[in-house]
DNA sequence: TCAACCAATAATGTATGCATCTTAAAGAGA
DNA sequence: TCTCTTTAAGATGCATACATTATTGGTTGA
Protein backbone atom coordinates (compact mmCIF):
# COMPACT_ATOMS: atom_id res chain seq x y z
CA UNK A 1 0.00 0.00 0.00
CA UNK A 2 1.97 2.92 -1.25
CA UNK A 3 -0.88 5.36 -1.46
CA UNK A 4 -1.10 6.05 2.25
CA UNK A 5 2.48 7.19 2.66
CA UNK A 6 1.84 10.75 1.60
CA UNK A 7 -0.95 11.46 4.01
CA UNK A 8 -0.04 9.25 6.89
CA UNK A 9 1.94 11.74 8.86
CA UNK A 10 0.24 14.93 7.92
CA UNK A 11 -0.73 15.56 11.49
CA UNK A 12 2.91 15.49 12.50
CA UNK A 13 3.95 17.67 9.58
CA UNK A 14 1.44 20.30 10.52
CA UNK A 15 2.85 20.49 14.00
CA UNK A 16 6.31 20.88 12.52
CA UNK A 17 4.99 23.59 10.24
CA UNK A 18 3.59 25.45 13.20
CA UNK A 19 6.96 25.19 14.90
CA UNK A 20 9.36 25.92 12.07
CA UNK A 21 7.12 27.60 9.53
CA UNK A 22 6.43 26.73 5.87
CA UNK A 23 7.62 23.56 4.07
CA UNK A 24 4.11 22.46 3.20
CA UNK A 25 4.38 19.13 1.40
CA UNK A 26 4.00 19.95 -2.30
CA UNK A 27 2.78 16.67 -3.70
CA UNK A 28 -0.48 16.95 -1.83
CA UNK A 29 -3.60 18.57 -3.15
CA UNK A 30 -5.00 21.84 -1.91
CA UNK A 31 -7.32 20.09 0.52
CA UNK A 32 -7.40 16.79 2.36
CA UNK A 33 -10.55 15.83 0.51
CA UNK A 34 -8.84 16.22 -2.85
CA UNK A 35 -5.73 14.25 -1.94
CA UNK A 36 -7.82 11.59 -0.24
CA UNK A 37 -9.98 11.26 -3.32
CA UNK A 38 -6.95 10.87 -5.55
CA UNK A 39 -5.38 8.36 -3.20
CA UNK A 40 -8.51 6.25 -3.05
CA UNK A 41 -9.20 6.45 -6.76
CA UNK A 42 -5.74 5.37 -7.78
CA UNK A 43 -5.78 2.75 -5.05
CA UNK A 44 -8.96 1.26 -6.45
CA UNK A 45 -7.76 1.38 -10.05
CA UNK A 46 -4.43 -0.11 -9.04
CA UNK A 47 -6.21 -2.98 -7.35
CA UNK A 48 -5.08 -2.16 -3.82
CA UNK A 49 -8.74 -2.44 -2.94
CA UNK A 50 -10.33 -5.59 -4.26
CA UNK A 51 -13.66 -5.53 -6.09
CA UNK A 52 -16.50 -6.06 -3.64
CA UNK A 53 -14.31 -4.99 -0.73
CA UNK A 54 -15.93 -2.81 1.85
CA UNK A 55 -14.57 0.70 2.36
CA UNK A 56 -14.72 1.29 6.10
CA UNK A 57 -14.56 4.93 7.04
CA UNK A 58 -12.67 4.61 10.31
CA UNK A 59 -10.25 2.15 8.78
CA UNK A 60 -9.39 4.45 5.86
CA UNK A 61 -9.40 7.39 8.20
CA UNK A 62 -6.65 5.82 10.27
CA UNK A 63 -4.64 4.59 7.31
CA UNK A 64 -4.63 7.97 5.60
CA UNK A 65 -4.24 9.97 8.77
CA UNK A 66 -7.25 12.22 8.28
CA UNK A 67 -10.59 12.46 9.98
CA UNK A 68 -13.70 10.73 8.69
CA UNK A 69 -15.01 13.87 7.01
CA UNK A 70 -12.66 14.01 4.01
CA UNK A 71 -12.94 10.24 3.71
CA UNK A 72 -16.70 10.46 3.48
CA UNK A 73 -16.51 13.20 0.90
CA UNK A 74 -14.06 11.25 -1.22
CA UNK A 75 -16.25 8.16 -1.05
CA UNK A 76 -19.29 10.15 -2.11
CA UNK A 77 -17.47 11.60 -5.08
CA UNK A 78 -16.16 8.23 -6.19
CA UNK A 79 -19.65 6.79 -5.79
CA UNK A 80 -20.92 9.52 -8.08
CA UNK A 81 -18.24 8.54 -10.59
CA UNK A 82 -19.40 4.96 -10.39
CA UNK A 83 -16.27 3.47 -8.85
CA UNK A 84 -18.05 2.61 -5.62
CA UNK A 85 -21.48 1.33 -4.75
CA UNK A 86 -23.26 2.84 -1.81
CA UNK A 87 -26.18 1.59 0.24
CA UNK A 88 -27.55 3.97 2.88
CA UNK A 89 -26.59 2.97 6.39
CA UNK A 90 -24.54 0.11 5.02
CA UNK A 91 -21.50 1.76 3.59
CA UNK A 92 -19.43 1.77 0.43
CA UNK A 93 -18.15 -1.17 -1.56
CA UNK A 94 -15.71 -1.33 -4.45
CA UNK A 95 -17.80 -1.85 -7.54
CA UNK A 96 -17.51 -5.29 -9.05
CA UNK A 97 -17.33 -5.94 -12.76
CA UNK A 98 -18.27 -9.26 -14.25
CA UNK A 99 -16.61 -10.51 -17.40
CA UNK A 100 -19.76 -9.48 -19.22
CA UNK A 101 -19.46 -5.98 -17.77
CA UNK A 102 -15.92 -5.64 -19.06
CA UNK A 103 -16.90 -6.76 -22.52
CA UNK A 104 -19.71 -4.24 -22.52
CA UNK A 105 -17.33 -1.55 -21.39
CA UNK A 106 -15.29 -2.21 -24.51
CA UNK A 107 -18.39 -1.94 -26.67
CA UNK A 108 -19.27 1.39 -25.12
CA UNK A 109 -15.73 2.59 -25.39
CA UNK A 110 -15.58 1.53 -29.01
CA UNK A 111 -18.61 3.64 -29.83
CA UNK A 112 -17.24 6.64 -27.93
CA UNK A 113 -13.71 6.37 -29.33
CA UNK A 114 -15.26 6.23 -32.75
CA UNK A 115 -17.06 9.49 -32.08
CA UNK A 116 -13.87 11.08 -30.80
CA UNK A 117 -11.95 10.04 -33.88
CA UNK A 118 -14.66 11.45 -36.11
CA UNK A 119 -14.60 14.78 -34.34
CA UNK A 120 -10.80 14.87 -34.40
CA UNK A 121 -10.95 14.37 -38.16
CA UNK A 122 -13.67 16.97 -38.65
CA UNK A 123 -12.11 19.60 -36.42
CA UNK A 124 -8.49 18.86 -37.24
CA UNK A 125 -5.69 18.20 -34.79
CA UNK A 126 -3.30 20.75 -33.37
CA UNK A 127 0.40 20.57 -34.04
CA UNK A 128 1.18 19.38 -30.50
CA UNK A 129 -1.38 16.60 -30.76
CA UNK A 130 -0.08 15.46 -34.11
CA UNK A 131 3.42 15.35 -32.65
CA UNK A 132 2.26 13.07 -29.85
CA UNK A 133 0.57 10.73 -32.30
CA UNK A 134 3.59 10.57 -34.57
CA UNK A 135 5.82 9.91 -31.62
CA UNK A 136 3.52 7.11 -30.48
CA UNK A 137 3.54 5.60 -33.97
CA UNK A 138 7.31 5.62 -34.34
CA UNK A 139 7.84 4.35 -30.80
CA UNK A 140 5.40 1.56 -31.51
CA UNK A 141 7.33 0.68 -34.64
CA UNK A 142 10.57 0.59 -32.69
CA UNK A 143 8.98 -1.67 -30.10
CA UNK A 144 7.87 -4.07 -32.84
CA UNK A 145 11.29 -4.12 -34.49
CA UNK A 146 13.21 -4.71 -31.29
CA UNK A 147 15.06 -8.02 -31.23
CA UNK A 148 13.75 -9.36 -27.96
CA UNK A 149 10.16 -8.25 -28.32
CA UNK A 150 8.80 -10.98 -26.07
CA UNK A 151 10.82 -9.70 -23.12
CA UNK A 152 9.47 -6.18 -23.49
CA UNK A 153 7.47 -4.64 -20.75
CA UNK A 154 3.76 -4.60 -21.36
CA UNK A 155 3.49 -1.25 -19.62
CA UNK A 156 5.64 0.38 -22.30
CA UNK A 157 3.20 -0.64 -24.99
CA UNK A 158 0.41 0.46 -22.69
CA UNK A 159 1.90 3.92 -22.42
CA UNK A 160 2.36 4.26 -26.16
CA UNK A 161 -1.18 3.08 -26.80
CA UNK A 162 -2.55 5.37 -24.15
CA UNK A 163 -0.71 8.37 -25.61
CA UNK A 164 -2.21 7.70 -29.03
CA UNK A 165 -5.75 7.52 -27.75
CA UNK A 166 -5.42 10.41 -25.32
CA UNK A 167 -4.27 12.71 -28.09
CA UNK A 168 -7.40 11.89 -30.04
CA UNK A 169 -9.61 12.37 -26.99
CA UNK A 170 -8.06 15.76 -26.52
CA UNK A 171 -8.56 16.59 -30.20
CA UNK A 172 -12.27 15.82 -29.92
CA UNK A 173 -12.61 19.15 -28.10
CA UNK A 174 -15.44 17.88 -26.00
CA UNK A 175 -15.35 17.76 -22.24
CA UNK A 176 -18.45 15.62 -22.17
CA UNK A 177 -17.00 13.06 -24.54
CA UNK A 178 -13.75 12.99 -22.58
CA UNK A 179 -15.70 12.43 -19.37
CA UNK A 180 -17.61 9.52 -20.86
CA UNK A 181 -14.41 8.02 -22.25
CA UNK A 182 -12.64 8.32 -18.94
CA UNK A 183 -15.54 6.69 -17.18
CA UNK A 184 -15.75 3.83 -19.67
CA UNK A 185 -12.11 3.06 -18.92
CA UNK A 186 -12.28 3.43 -15.15
CA UNK A 187 -12.35 -0.27 -14.48
CA UNK A 188 -9.89 -1.97 -12.24
CA UNK A 189 -7.92 -4.52 -14.26
CA UNK A 190 -9.46 -7.51 -12.54
CA UNK A 191 -6.64 -9.98 -12.05
CA UNK A 192 -6.92 -12.21 -15.11
CA UNK A 193 -9.91 -11.02 -16.99
CA UNK A 194 -8.98 -7.59 -18.22
CA UNK A 195 -5.64 -8.50 -19.74
CA UNK A 196 -5.21 -7.72 -23.39
CA UNK A 197 -3.32 -10.05 -25.68
CA UNK A 198 0.31 -9.08 -26.18
CA UNK A 199 1.59 -11.35 -28.93
CA UNK A 200 3.77 -9.89 -31.63
CA UNK A 201 1.05 -10.29 -34.22
CA UNK A 202 -1.57 -8.59 -32.06
CA UNK A 203 0.59 -5.56 -31.41
CA UNK A 204 1.56 -5.39 -35.07
CA UNK A 205 -2.05 -5.41 -36.16
CA UNK A 206 -3.05 -2.74 -33.65
CA UNK A 207 -0.19 -0.51 -34.67
CA UNK A 208 -1.30 -0.85 -38.29
CA UNK A 209 -4.78 0.22 -37.14
CA UNK A 210 -3.28 3.29 -35.52
CA UNK A 211 -1.53 4.25 -38.74
CA UNK A 212 -4.72 3.94 -40.77
CA UNK A 213 -6.78 5.86 -38.20
CA UNK A 214 -4.27 8.70 -38.12
CA UNK A 215 -4.25 8.78 -41.91
CA UNK A 216 -8.02 9.09 -42.02
CA UNK A 217 -7.90 11.90 -39.49
CA UNK A 218 -5.27 13.75 -41.52
CA UNK A 219 -7.45 13.35 -44.61
CA UNK A 220 -10.32 14.86 -42.64
CA UNK A 221 -12.37 11.77 -43.41
CA UNK A 222 -14.55 11.66 -40.27
CA UNK A 223 -16.67 8.73 -41.34
CA UNK A 224 -13.71 6.55 -42.10
CA UNK A 225 -11.87 7.56 -38.93
CA UNK A 226 -14.89 6.62 -36.87
CA UNK A 227 -15.34 3.28 -38.58
CA UNK A 228 -11.69 2.35 -38.24
CA UNK A 229 -11.47 3.43 -34.63
CA UNK A 230 -14.57 1.56 -33.63
CA UNK A 231 -13.32 -1.57 -35.31
CA UNK A 232 -9.95 -1.09 -33.67
CA UNK A 233 -11.36 -1.03 -30.14
CA UNK A 234 -13.83 -3.80 -30.91
CA UNK A 235 -10.95 -5.97 -32.03
CA UNK A 236 -9.49 -5.64 -28.56
CA UNK A 237 -12.82 -6.80 -27.22
CA UNK A 238 -12.69 -9.79 -29.55
CA UNK A 239 -9.20 -10.76 -28.52
CA UNK A 240 -10.27 -10.42 -24.91
CA UNK A 241 -13.17 -12.79 -25.51
CA UNK A 242 -10.79 -15.20 -27.25
CA UNK A 243 -8.47 -15.15 -24.25
CA UNK A 244 -11.34 -15.77 -21.88
CA UNK A 245 -12.78 -18.69 -23.82
CA UNK A 246 -9.29 -20.16 -24.05
CA UNK A 247 -8.98 -20.03 -20.26
CA UNK A 248 -12.29 -21.86 -19.86
CA UNK B 1 -39.48 26.19 -5.32
CA UNK B 2 -41.46 23.09 -4.66
CA UNK B 3 -38.53 20.87 -3.86
CA UNK B 4 -37.96 22.17 -0.37
CA UNK B 5 -41.42 21.45 0.94
CA UNK B 6 -40.68 17.86 1.88
CA UNK B 7 -37.65 18.54 4.00
CA UNK B 8 -38.38 21.95 5.39
CA UNK B 9 -40.07 20.87 8.58
CA UNK B 10 -38.33 17.65 9.28
CA UNK B 11 -36.96 18.95 12.52
CA UNK B 12 -40.48 19.59 13.76
CA UNK B 13 -41.68 16.21 12.56
CA UNK B 14 -38.97 14.45 14.46
CA UNK B 15 -40.06 16.10 17.66
CA UNK B 16 -43.61 15.01 16.96
CA UNK B 17 -42.35 11.51 16.27
CA UNK B 18 -40.62 11.43 19.60
CA UNK B 19 -43.84 12.52 21.26
CA UNK B 20 -46.42 10.41 19.47
CA UNK B 21 -44.31 7.66 17.92
CA UNK B 22 -43.81 6.67 14.30
CA UNK B 23 -45.56 8.35 11.33
CA UNK B 24 -42.29 8.86 9.51
CA UNK B 25 -42.99 10.79 6.37
CA UNK B 26 -43.00 8.20 3.57
CA UNK B 27 -42.05 10.31 0.59
CA UNK B 28 -38.63 10.98 2.02
CA UNK B 29 -35.61 8.85 1.43
CA UNK B 30 -34.00 6.70 4.04
CA UNK B 31 -31.47 9.39 4.93
CA UNK B 32 -31.28 13.16 4.72
CA UNK B 33 -28.37 12.88 2.32
CA UNK B 34 -30.42 10.81 -0.11
CA UNK B 35 -33.46 13.06 -0.07
CA UNK B 36 -31.29 16.15 -0.27
CA UNK B 37 -29.48 14.70 -3.26
CA UNK B 38 -32.74 13.93 -5.01
CA UNK B 39 -34.14 17.35 -4.22
CA UNK B 40 -31.07 19.13 -5.55
CA UNK B 41 -30.76 16.94 -8.63
CA UNK B 42 -34.35 17.42 -9.69
CA UNK B 43 -34.12 21.08 -8.80
CA UNK B 44 -31.13 21.49 -11.11
CA UNK B 45 -32.71 19.49 -13.94
CA UNK B 46 -35.97 21.41 -13.53
CA UNK B 47 -34.09 24.67 -13.84
CA UNK B 48 -34.83 25.90 -10.33
CA UNK B 49 -31.10 26.48 -10.13
CA UNK B 50 -29.75 28.36 -13.09
CA UNK B 51 -26.64 27.24 -14.95
CA UNK B 52 -23.58 28.92 -13.48
CA UNK B 53 -25.41 29.65 -10.25
CA UNK B 54 -23.45 29.15 -7.09
CA UNK B 55 -24.64 26.51 -4.65
CA UNK B 56 -24.10 28.02 -1.22
CA UNK B 57 -24.04 25.46 1.55
CA UNK B 58 -25.60 27.55 4.30
CA UNK B 59 -28.23 28.87 1.94
CA UNK B 60 -29.31 25.40 0.83
CA UNK B 61 -28.96 24.16 4.37
CA UNK B 62 -31.55 26.68 5.56
CA UNK B 63 -33.88 26.19 2.61
CA UNK B 64 -33.95 22.41 3.00
CA UNK B 65 -33.96 22.43 6.76
CA UNK B 66 -30.93 20.20 7.24
CA UNK B 67 -27.42 20.81 8.44
CA UNK B 68 -24.53 21.47 6.11
CA UNK B 69 -23.32 17.89 6.27
CA UNK B 70 -25.96 16.23 4.08
CA UNK B 71 -25.83 19.24 1.77
CA UNK B 72 -22.12 18.80 1.29
CA UNK B 73 -22.50 15.10 0.64
CA UNK B 74 -25.20 15.71 -1.93
CA UNK B 75 -23.09 18.35 -3.66
CA UNK B 76 -20.11 16.00 -3.79
CA UNK B 77 -22.21 13.23 -5.31
CA UNK B 78 -23.72 15.52 -7.91
CA UNK B 79 -20.27 16.84 -8.72
CA UNK B 80 -19.16 13.27 -9.30
CA UNK B 81 -22.10 12.81 -11.63
CA UNK B 82 -21.06 15.91 -13.54
CA UNK B 83 -24.04 18.10 -12.70
CA UNK B 84 -21.96 20.50 -10.65
CA UNK B 85 -18.50 21.94 -10.96
CA UNK B 86 -16.36 22.22 -7.87
CA UNK B 87 -13.30 24.28 -7.13
CA UNK B 88 -11.58 23.65 -3.79
CA UNK B 89 -12.21 26.42 -1.27
CA UNK B 90 -14.48 28.15 -3.74
CA UNK B 91 -17.60 26.08 -3.77
CA UNK B 92 -19.97 24.43 -6.18
CA UNK B 93 -21.56 25.87 -9.31
CA UNK B 94 -24.29 24.52 -11.54
CA UNK B 95 -22.56 23.23 -14.62
CA UNK B 96 -23.14 25.31 -17.71
CA UNK B 97 -23.76 23.85 -21.12
CA UNK B 98 -23.12 25.80 -24.26
CA UNK B 99 -25.16 25.19 -27.37
CA UNK B 100 -22.19 23.23 -28.68
CA UNK B 101 -22.23 21.08 -25.55
CA UNK B 102 -25.88 20.24 -26.03
CA UNK B 103 -25.35 19.27 -29.64
CA UNK B 104 -22.46 17.05 -28.59
CA UNK B 105 -24.61 15.48 -25.93
CA UNK B 106 -27.03 14.42 -28.64
CA UNK B 107 -24.18 12.93 -30.66
CA UNK B 108 -23.03 10.93 -27.68
CA UNK B 109 -26.54 9.89 -26.84
CA UNK B 110 -27.13 8.84 -30.43
CA UNK B 111 -24.15 6.52 -30.33
CA UNK B 112 -25.19 5.06 -26.97
CA UNK B 113 -28.86 4.66 -27.85
CA UNK B 114 -27.73 2.88 -30.98
CA UNK B 115 -25.75 0.44 -28.88
CA UNK B 116 -28.70 -0.11 -26.57
CA UNK B 117 -31.01 -0.84 -29.49
CA UNK B 118 -28.53 -3.30 -30.91
CA UNK B 119 -28.26 -5.15 -27.63
CA UNK B 120 -32.03 -5.14 -27.19
CA UNK B 121 -32.33 -6.76 -30.63
CA UNK B 122 -29.60 -9.29 -29.96
CA UNK B 123 -30.79 -10.27 -26.49
CA UNK B 124 -34.51 -9.96 -27.17
CA UNK B 125 -37.03 -7.99 -25.14
CA UNK B 126 -39.13 -9.31 -22.31
CA UNK B 127 -42.91 -9.42 -22.51
CA UNK B 128 -43.31 -6.48 -20.12
CA UNK B 129 -40.89 -4.35 -22.11
CA UNK B 130 -42.62 -5.16 -25.38
CA UNK B 131 -45.92 -4.17 -23.81
CA UNK B 132 -44.53 -0.78 -22.82
CA UNK B 133 -43.22 -0.18 -26.31
CA UNK B 134 -46.50 -1.17 -27.94
CA UNK B 135 -48.39 1.05 -25.57
CA UNK B 136 -46.08 3.94 -26.40
CA UNK B 137 -46.56 3.34 -30.12
CA UNK B 138 -50.34 3.25 -29.97
CA UNK B 139 -50.50 6.24 -27.61
CA UNK B 140 -48.27 8.12 -29.98
CA UNK B 141 -50.57 7.25 -32.86
CA UNK B 142 -53.56 8.46 -30.88
CA UNK B 143 -51.78 11.71 -30.12
CA UNK B 144 -51.09 12.23 -33.81
CA UNK B 145 -54.66 11.48 -34.82
CA UNK B 146 -56.22 13.74 -32.25
CA UNK B 147 -58.17 16.62 -33.73
CA UNK B 148 -56.56 19.46 -31.88
CA UNK B 149 -52.97 18.23 -32.01
CA UNK B 150 -51.50 21.69 -31.77
CA UNK B 151 -53.10 22.26 -28.37
CA UNK B 152 -51.64 19.07 -26.95
CA UNK B 153 -49.28 19.20 -24.08
CA UNK B 154 -45.66 18.69 -25.00
CA UNK B 155 -45.08 16.80 -21.80
CA UNK B 156 -47.46 14.06 -22.90
CA UNK B 157 -45.39 13.39 -25.99
CA UNK B 158 -42.32 13.63 -23.81
CA UNK B 159 -43.63 10.91 -21.55
CA UNK B 160 -44.51 8.62 -24.44
CA UNK B 161 -41.13 9.16 -26.03
CA UNK B 162 -39.36 8.60 -22.74
CA UNK B 163 -41.24 5.35 -22.14
CA UNK B 164 -40.20 4.04 -25.53
CA UNK B 165 -36.52 4.78 -24.98
CA UNK B 166 -36.48 3.65 -21.37
CA UNK B 167 -37.85 0.26 -22.32
CA UNK B 168 -35.00 -0.19 -24.75
CA UNK B 169 -32.43 0.98 -22.21
CA UNK B 170 -33.81 -1.58 -19.83
CA UNK B 171 -33.70 -4.28 -22.50
CA UNK B 172 -30.02 -3.59 -23.11
CA UNK B 173 -29.35 -5.43 -19.84
CA UNK B 174 -26.34 -3.31 -19.10
CA UNK B 175 -26.02 -1.17 -16.03
CA UNK B 176 -23.00 0.55 -17.47
CA UNK B 177 -24.81 1.48 -20.66
CA UNK B 178 -27.80 2.71 -18.68
CA UNK B 179 -25.52 4.85 -16.53
CA UNK B 180 -23.90 6.43 -19.57
CA UNK B 181 -27.28 7.05 -21.15
CA UNK B 182 -28.65 8.65 -18.03
CA UNK B 183 -25.62 10.88 -17.78
CA UNK B 184 -25.81 11.92 -21.42
CA UNK B 185 -29.36 13.10 -20.80
CA UNK B 186 -28.73 14.84 -17.50
CA UNK B 187 -28.71 18.30 -18.95
CA UNK B 188 -30.95 21.04 -17.73
CA UNK B 189 -33.23 22.16 -20.56
CA UNK B 190 -31.60 25.55 -20.89
CA UNK B 191 -34.47 27.92 -21.46
CA UNK B 192 -34.66 28.10 -25.25
CA UNK B 193 -31.82 26.03 -26.50
CA UNK B 194 -32.74 22.51 -25.58
CA UNK B 195 -36.28 22.56 -26.87
CA UNK B 196 -37.10 19.97 -29.45
CA UNK B 197 -39.36 20.77 -32.39
CA UNK B 198 -42.98 19.79 -31.84
CA UNK B 199 -44.66 20.28 -35.19
CA UNK B 200 -47.09 17.66 -36.40
CA UNK B 201 -44.70 16.52 -39.11
CA UNK B 202 -41.80 16.18 -36.71
CA UNK B 203 -43.74 14.05 -34.29
CA UNK B 204 -45.12 11.97 -37.14
CA UNK B 205 -41.66 11.29 -38.48
CA UNK B 206 -40.30 10.35 -35.08
CA UNK B 207 -43.15 8.02 -34.40
CA UNK B 208 -42.49 6.33 -37.73
CA UNK B 209 -38.86 5.94 -36.62
CA UNK B 210 -40.05 4.26 -33.45
CA UNK B 211 -42.12 1.77 -35.42
CA UNK B 212 -39.19 0.85 -37.65
CA UNK B 213 -36.81 0.55 -34.73
CA UNK B 214 -39.17 -1.73 -32.85
CA UNK B 215 -39.63 -3.81 -35.95
CA UNK B 216 -35.88 -4.26 -36.33
CA UNK B 217 -35.61 -5.27 -32.70
CA UNK B 218 -38.38 -7.85 -33.09
CA UNK B 219 -36.60 -9.22 -36.15
CA UNK B 220 -33.46 -9.53 -34.03
CA UNK B 221 -31.63 -7.42 -36.56
CA UNK B 222 -29.13 -5.72 -34.27
CA UNK B 223 -27.23 -3.88 -36.97
CA UNK B 224 -30.37 -2.35 -38.44
CA UNK B 225 -31.77 -1.46 -35.03
CA UNK B 226 -28.56 0.37 -34.16
CA UNK B 227 -28.43 2.24 -37.45
CA UNK B 228 -32.04 3.32 -37.23
CA UNK B 229 -31.81 4.36 -33.61
CA UNK B 230 -28.69 6.36 -34.13
CA UNK B 231 -30.23 8.14 -37.06
CA UNK B 232 -33.36 8.74 -35.04
CA UNK B 233 -31.54 10.52 -32.24
CA UNK B 234 -29.29 12.37 -34.67
CA UNK B 235 -32.37 13.69 -36.42
CA UNK B 236 -33.38 15.33 -33.16
CA UNK B 237 -29.97 16.93 -33.07
CA UNK B 238 -30.47 18.18 -36.60
CA UNK B 239 -33.85 19.66 -35.86
CA UNK B 240 -32.35 21.29 -32.79
CA UNK B 241 -29.63 22.85 -34.91
CA UNK B 242 -32.29 24.03 -37.35
CA UNK B 243 -34.24 25.68 -34.54
CA UNK B 244 -31.13 27.38 -33.25
CA UNK B 245 -30.05 28.76 -36.60
CA UNK B 246 -33.60 29.98 -37.15
CA UNK B 247 -33.46 31.92 -33.89
CA UNK B 248 -30.21 33.54 -34.92
C1' DT C 1 -7.04 59.33 -8.91
C1' DC C 2 -5.19 54.98 -8.62
C1' DA C 3 -2.87 51.12 -6.78
C1' DA C 4 -1.57 48.26 -3.10
C1' DC C 5 -2.46 46.78 1.35
C1' DC C 6 -5.16 45.42 5.24
C1' DA C 7 -8.98 44.14 7.98
C1' DA C 8 -13.52 42.37 8.38
C1' DT C 9 -16.77 39.22 6.63
C1' DA C 10 -18.35 35.21 4.70
C1' DA C 11 -17.78 30.69 2.86
C1' DT C 12 -15.58 26.35 2.70
C1' DG C 13 -12.68 22.57 5.01
C1' DT C 14 -12.02 19.55 8.96
C1' DA C 15 -12.59 17.24 13.33
C1' DT C 16 -15.48 15.34 16.67
C1' DG C 17 -19.42 13.92 19.53
C1' DC C 18 -23.71 11.99 19.53
C1' DA C 19 -27.77 9.64 17.27
C1' DT C 20 -29.32 6.01 14.57
C1' DC C 21 -29.04 1.93 12.13
C1' DT C 22 -27.14 -2.72 11.02
C1' DT C 23 -25.52 -6.96 12.25
C1' DA C 24 -24.14 -10.74 14.60
C1' DA C 25 -23.85 -13.22 18.70
C1' DA C 26 -25.88 -14.72 22.92
C1' DG C 27 -29.81 -16.44 25.19
C1' DA C 28 -34.65 -17.97 26.00
C1' DG C 29 -38.43 -20.71 24.74
C1' DA C 30 -40.61 -24.37 22.20
C1' DT D 1 -31.77 -28.60 18.03
C1' DC D 2 -33.97 -24.96 16.00
C1' DT D 3 -36.01 -20.54 15.87
C1' DC D 4 -37.14 -16.24 17.50
C1' DT D 5 -35.67 -12.32 20.73
C1' DT D 6 -32.74 -9.53 22.65
C1' DT D 7 -28.71 -7.12 23.24
C1' DA D 8 -24.26 -5.29 22.54
C1' DA D 9 -20.76 -3.87 19.39
C1' DG D 10 -19.57 -1.63 15.41
C1' DA D 11 -20.51 1.40 11.55
C1' DT D 12 -22.81 5.08 9.27
C1' DG D 13 -25.66 9.58 9.52
C1' DC D 14 -25.94 14.10 11.18
C1' DA D 15 -25.06 18.41 13.59
C1' DT D 16 -21.93 21.62 15.22
C1' DA D 17 -17.72 24.05 16.60
C1' DC D 18 -13.61 25.53 14.99
C1' DA D 19 -9.83 26.25 11.40
C1' DT D 20 -8.58 27.85 7.09
C1' DT D 21 -9.19 30.13 2.94
C1' DA D 22 -11.51 33.58 -0.35
C1' DT D 23 -13.51 37.99 -0.94
C1' DT D 24 -14.89 42.46 -0.31
C1' DG D 25 -14.63 47.07 0.97
C1' DG D 26 -12.19 50.59 2.87
C1' DT D 27 -7.95 52.91 3.95
C1' DT D 28 -3.38 54.52 3.20
C1' DG D 29 0.19 55.98 0.49
C1' DA D 30 2.07 57.77 -3.52
Cβ count near B4 (within 10 Å):
16
What is the arithmetic mean of pLDDT over B100-120? 97
What was the pLDDT predicted at B190?
Answer: 64
Q: Can you name the CATH fold of B99-247?
A: 1.20.120
Nucleotide nearest to B88 (CA to C1'): C12
User: pLDDT tens digit string along A80-105?
Assistant: 999 999 999 999 999 999 989 999 99
Q: How far apart are CA B41 and CA B35, in angstroms?
A: 10
- Residue B94: enclosing H or E segment and its boundaries? strand B91-94
Chain B closest-CA separation from residue A149 CA (Å): 36
What was the pLDDT predicted at A146?
Answer: 84
- Is A128's CB less than 7 Å from nucleic acid strand D? no
Comparing A87 with A8, which gets the higher pLDDT? A87
User: pLDDT tens digit string along A42-61?
Assistant: 999 999 999 999 999 999 99
A50-54, B23-27, B150-154: least confident range? B23-27
Contact B141, B207 (CB under 8 A): yes
Query: Which three-class secondary structure state does DSSP give residue B23?
Result: coil
What is the arithmetic mean of pLDDT over B35-41? 97
Contact A8, A49 (CB under 8 A): no
Q: Is residue B227 less than 8 Å (CB to CB) from chain A?
A: no
> Sign (positive/negative) of CA torsion A182, A183, A189, A195?
negative
Whether A73 and B76 lie within 8 Å, measured CB to CB: yes
Which of B80, B110, B122 is most worth mutating to test chain A (most A CB atoms within 10 A of its CB)? B80
Q: Is residue A116 less than 8 Å (CB to CB) from chain B?
A: no
How far: B130 CA to D11 C1' (Å)?
44
Which of A36, A68, A108 is most worth mutating to test chain B (most B CB atoms within 10 A of its CB)? A108
Q: Is residue A103 less than 8 Å (CB to CB) from chain B?
A: no
Counting Cα atoms < 13 Å in the Cβ hemisphere of A151 gives 3
- Is A69's CB less than 7 Å from nucleic acid strand D? yes
What was the pLDDT predicted at B29?
Answer: 73
What was the pLDDT predicted at A28?
Answer: 66
* Residues 67-96 of chain B in contact with strand D via CB under 7 angstroms: 67-70, 73, 88-90
- Is A89's CB less than 7 Å from nucleic acid strand C? yes
Quickly list H helices, chain B: 5-8, 10-20, 32-46, 57-64, 68-81, 99-123, 127-145, 154-171, 175-185, 200-218, 222-247
> Sign (positive/negative) of CA torsion B24, B25, B27, B28?
negative
Within 8 A of A111 by CB-CB distance, chain B residues are 111-112, 114-115
Q: Is residue A175 less than 8 Å (CB to CB) from chain B?
A: yes
Averaged pLDDT of chain B:
86
Whether B112 and A111 lie within 8 Å, measured CB to CB: yes
What was the pLDDT predicted at B194?
Answer: 63
What was the pLDDT predicted at B192?
Answer: 57
What is the arithmetic mean of pLDDT over A94-120? 96
pLDDT at B22 over 50: no
Nucleotide nearest to B35 (CA to C1'): D13
How far: A179 CA to D4 C1' (Å)?
51
What is the arithmetic mean of pLDDT over B232-239? 94
Contact B94, B49 (CB under 8 A): yes
Closest in A89, A104, A115 to B176, CB measured: A104
The CATH number of A5-94 is 1.10.10.10
What was the pLDDT predicted at A191?
Answer: 57
- Is B56's CB less than 7 Å from nucleic acid strand C? yes
Averaged pLDDT of chain A:
87
What is the arithmetic mean of pLDDT over B158-184? 97
Contact B123, B174 (CB under 8 A): no
What is the arithmetic mean of pLDDT over B73-100? 96
Q: Is residue A57 less than 8 Å (CB to CB) from chain B?
A: no
Nucleotide nearest to B72 (CA to C1'): C12
Nucleotide nearest to A89 (CA to C1'): D12
What was the pLDDT predicted at B52?
Answer: 95
What was the pLDDT predicted at A223?
Answer: 98
Identify the band that residue A118 occupies on the pLDDT scale cut at 50, 70 and 90. Answer: very high
A139-153, B44-58, B159-173: least confident range? A139-153
What is the arithmetic mean of pLDDT over A10-36? 52
pLDDT at B248 over 70: yes
- Residue B84: enclosing H or E segment and its boundaries? strand B84-87
Q: Residues spanned by CATH 1.20.120.530 within chain A? A: 99-247
User: pLDDT tens digit string along A222-236?
Assistant: 999 999 999 999 999
What was the pLDDT predicted at A194?
Answer: 63
Q: Is residue B35 less than 8 Å (CB to CB) from chain A?
A: no
Contact B8, B45 (CB under 8 A): no
User: pLDDT tens digit string along B116-143?
Assistant: 999 999 999 999 999 999 999 999 999 9
- Is B16's CB less than 7 Å from nucleic acid strand C? no
Q: Is residue A71 less than 8 Å (CB to CB) from chain B?
A: no
Q: Residues spanned by CATH 1.10.10.10 within chain B? A: 5-94
What is the arithmetic mean of pLDDT over B67-88? 97
Quickly list H helices, chain A: 5-8, 10-20, 32-46, 57-64, 68-81, 99-123, 127-145, 154-171, 175-185, 200-218, 222-247
What was the pLDDT predicted at B197?
Answer: 76
User: pLDDT tens digit string along A185-200?
Assistant: 998 776 556 677 778 8
Amino acid sequence: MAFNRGLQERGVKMVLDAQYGKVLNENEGPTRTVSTTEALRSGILAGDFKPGERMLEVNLSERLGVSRTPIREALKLLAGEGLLDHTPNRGYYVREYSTEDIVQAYEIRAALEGLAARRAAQLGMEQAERAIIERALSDGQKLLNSDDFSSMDRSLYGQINSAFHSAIHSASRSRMLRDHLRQSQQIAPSSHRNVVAFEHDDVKRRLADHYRIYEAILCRDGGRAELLMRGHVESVKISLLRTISRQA
